[in-house]
Amino acid sequence: MRRITIPLCVVTAAIVWSIARRPRPPDFAPDWATATAQARADGAWRVVHLRRDDRPASVALDRLLAGDEAKRALGDASLRAFHHVRLDAAANAALVTPWVGIGGAVATLVVDEEEELVGRLDGFVELDALARFLRDALARRPAIEAAKEALRRDDRDDAARVALAGSLVALGALDRAELLLTRAARGDGDAAARALDALAELQLRRGQTALAERTQAERAQRYPAPPSSGNQEENREEE
């Protein structure tokens, strides 16, 4: 029988690949500067686990992320596109306030290469929900980057601004989405109309009913809906 010899380099490569694909819990950078340097070198986004020692939800989430269950939920290769870092909300207030406002405590944040918030998940979260959130952020990254690139080319591109806001709303970055929609709503045309619609929906989501009603009224005044085909036929019959 003829023996088949497999080169040692092929065996070694297969072993290395197998180890690299093996599930493992996320690696945490020791500090923000290190996470930033690593992310920039890899072109990666950062996941900020915002925490405080005096919040039970934060301590419980720390334990969960360090356990074996995290290896199952977060350990597949697709989620290694992120660089993780834990930040104390009080000690890093100057850094995190633009993302979460004053007093932010326990949250999972996704921050892009320009240190802009693109995703936010507040409070204690189960690992499966966290994994879904991170996969959603990865899936939306091309659309987010395309919209940002369009705005770099032309800051007046309100259609791109509305598209970017839609992705941010889906990922929970509501404050930044609201700023984008408010600016787009000051423009004109179809993008402004869509911005007003999206802004009203966001305000309703936040329980700001009176504000949403004013936004809807402004939309109706500036961009009245065209008459329906039924009304047009009735008008022709009357003539």
Residue 146 falls within a domain, yes or no? no
Same domain, 131 and 170: no
Per-residue pLDDT reduced to its tens digit, 80-110 = 889 999 999 989 999 999 999 887 778 999 9
Report d(CA 49, CA 73) in Å as an integer: 16
Local confidence band at 15 (pLDDT 50, 70, 90 cut-offs) = very low
Tell me, yes or no, whether 116 and 48 share the same domain: yes
How far is it, in rounded angstroms, from Cα 137 to Cα 118?
8
Nearest Cα residue to 73 out of 33, 17, 116, 129: 129
Strands (DSSP E) along 15-174, which ranges? 28-29, 45-51, 82-88, 107-111, 117-122
Q: Is the pLDDT of residue 22 over 70?
A: no
What CATH number is given to the structural domain containing 56?
3.40.30.10
Of 172 and 8, which is predicted with more confidence? 172
Within 8 A by CB and 6+ apart from 2, the residues are none
Question: Can you give the pTM of this predicted structure?
Answer: 0.82
Q: What is the pLDDT of residues 181-206, one digit of tens each?
A: 999 999 999 999 999 999 999 999 99
Total count of domains within the chain? 2
Structural domain contains residue 55: yes
Same domain, 31 and 103: yes
Distance CA 221, CA 218 (A): 5
> Which is it for the CA torsion 150, 153, 155, 157, positive or negative?
negative
CA distance 108 to 116: 14
CA distance 236 to 231: 9
Q: What is the DSSP string of 114-137?
A: TS-EEEEEES---HHHHHHHHHHH
Quote helix, strand, coil % in the chain, to nearest 5. Answer: 60, 10, 25
Spatial neighbors of 193 by CB under 8 A, at least 6 apart, are: 219, 222, 223
Q: How many other C-beta atoms are found inside a 10 Å radius of the C-beta of residue 41?
A: 9
Instruction: Work out the average pLDDT over 120-128.
Output: 91
Confidence check: pLDDT of 29 > 80: yes
Residue with more model confidence, 25 or 161: 161
Do 180 and 115 share a structural domain?
Answer: no
Please check the confidence at residue 4 and state whether its pLDDT lies above 80.
no
Structural domain that includes position 46: 26-135
- Mean of pLDDT values over 131-154: 97
Among 79-93, 137-151, 221-235, where is mean pLDDT lowest?
Answer: 221-235
Which region among 9-18, 31-40, 149-158, 207-216 has the lowest average model confidence (pLDDT)?
9-18
pLDDT, residue 200, reads: 98
Query: In this model, does residue 230 exceed pLDDT 90?
Result: no
Do the domain assignments include residue 32? yes
162: its two tokens: 């509305």
Residue 81 lies inside a defined structural domain of this protein: yes
Q: To which H or E segment does residue 220 belong?
A: helix 209-222
